[in-house]
Amino acid sequence: AGGNLSAVLAQEGAAGRGPVPALQVLYYPSLYGAQVFPSHELYAEGYFLSRASMQWYGDQYIAREEDWTARRFVPGLAPDLSGLPPAVIITAECDPMRDEGAAYAKALRAAGVPVRYHCYRGALHGFLNFYALMPNGKAALRLGGRALRKAFTA
């Protein structure tokens, strides 16, 4: 839920309803609610995060069925993404969430938001948690850390 919450906070801040973050760092974010993407189906089973577990997590996160389309749960469907802080979006190739991050990066760019998008080849959802064993995890953490350092010192 971290990437989702970060995107929502950035949107709330840009709309004047809270502080505006210096940078959005979104690791394999869930941004589009019940909308189905090709990676949801392609990596639905056998790649650490399953489609069934995605549904279960979503059901724990929302209170009512209509929340699946609520702006505060589905930041990818916001009608206007202009004016948001720059973003670093990191996804894993073999992850049901991959296409959501890629779609949000594309939508932010179209709205004029500076975006750095990186998809780690061969990585699974949650690869950051295994950074000690997976070089991609360590690289992704460093990418986000360097971007934050730059944003806070600019």
Which domains, from first to last, does the chain contain?
Answer: 2-153 (3.40.50.1820)
Q: How far is CA 36 from CA 16, 97, 99, in A?
A: 31, 10, 9
For the cut 90, the answer to whether the pLDDT of residue 73 exceeds it is no
For the cut 90, the answer to whether the pLDDT of residue 47 exceeds it is no
Q: What are the tens digits of pLDDT across the range 96-139? A: 999 999 999 999 999 999 999 999 999 989 899 888 888 899 99
CB contact set of 9 (below 8 Å; sequence gap of 6+): 18, 21
Give the global pTM.
Answer: 0.92
Report which residue type is found at 56: W
| Residue count (the chain) | 154
Q: Answer yes or no: are the C-beta atoms of 30 and 3 closer than 8 Å.
A: yes
Report the alpha-carbon distance of residue 53 to residue 119 in Å, rounded. 22
